[in-house]
Amino acid sequence: MILGREWNGAAAEPAYSILDVMYELWSIDTVQKKIVGEGILLSIRDLLVAVEAAGLAASEKRKHPDKAVHSFHFDVDWYSPEEMWLVDLGKDLVYWLTDGHSGLPGFAPHLERELGGHSYRQAVQRARPGSGQFRHLRSVIPHVE
């Protein structure tokens, strides 16, 4: 239970997939040792809680009838730039913990394409430099384009 509690699974993509993959990864002993060894367990937990909150907020915006728009970019359009920055750090965390391997459990091929897509990259760029709370993690976890 990397969040310290059960996850309800209602977050919008791509936050949903990041959390889903992290639950899979958390059961791997070497992943836990890497996080604990870097001394970032609490920061990782806080990041994943923030990613979940961003995904839940995006999910609520998507459901609101006054905000209905058609999106070709899964749920990126429902995230603020700051929320996308958190999601991007979560994505980088997943790649860092798996040494950049593709075909991750819970990451559908279309989602990996979208995470590298133009709309996604633009949203993340607008949020630079990101949350001060997670700048230490950003310095530890390499950015993946």
Does residue 58 lie within any of the structural domains?
A: yes
Residue 102 forms part of a structural domain:
yes
Looking at residue 72, its pLDDT comes to 45
Per-residue model confidence (pLDDT) at position 1: 58
pLDDT of residue 71: 46
Alpha helices (runs of H) in 1-145, residue ranges in sequence order? 15-26, 29-38, 41-63, 81-97, 109-115, 118-126, 135-140
Inside any domain, residue 72? yes
- Tell me the residue range of the domain where 44 lies: 15-140
What is the distance between the alpha carbons of residues 92 and 57, in angstroms, rounded to a whole number? 21
Look at residue 32 and tell me if it is in a domain: yes
Domain count across the chain = 1
Question: Does the pTM of the predicted model rise above 0.85?
Answer: no
Which residue in 67, 82, 91 sits closest to 14, CA to CA?
A: 91
Tens place of pLDDT for every residue, the chain, 145 residues? 566 677 777 888 788 888 888 888 888 888 888 888 889 999 999 999 999 999 988 888 766 555 544 444 456 778 888 888 898 899 889 888 887 665 555 565 556 666 666 667 777 777 777 778 898 898 999 888 7
Looking at residue 108, its pLDDT comes to 54
Is 53 contained in some domain?
yes
Task: Answer yes or no: are the C-beta atoms of 137 and 40 closer than 8 Å.
Answer: yes
Question: Which tokens is 39 given?
Answer: 């001394």
In-domain check, residue 8: no
Judge whether 7 lies within some domain. no
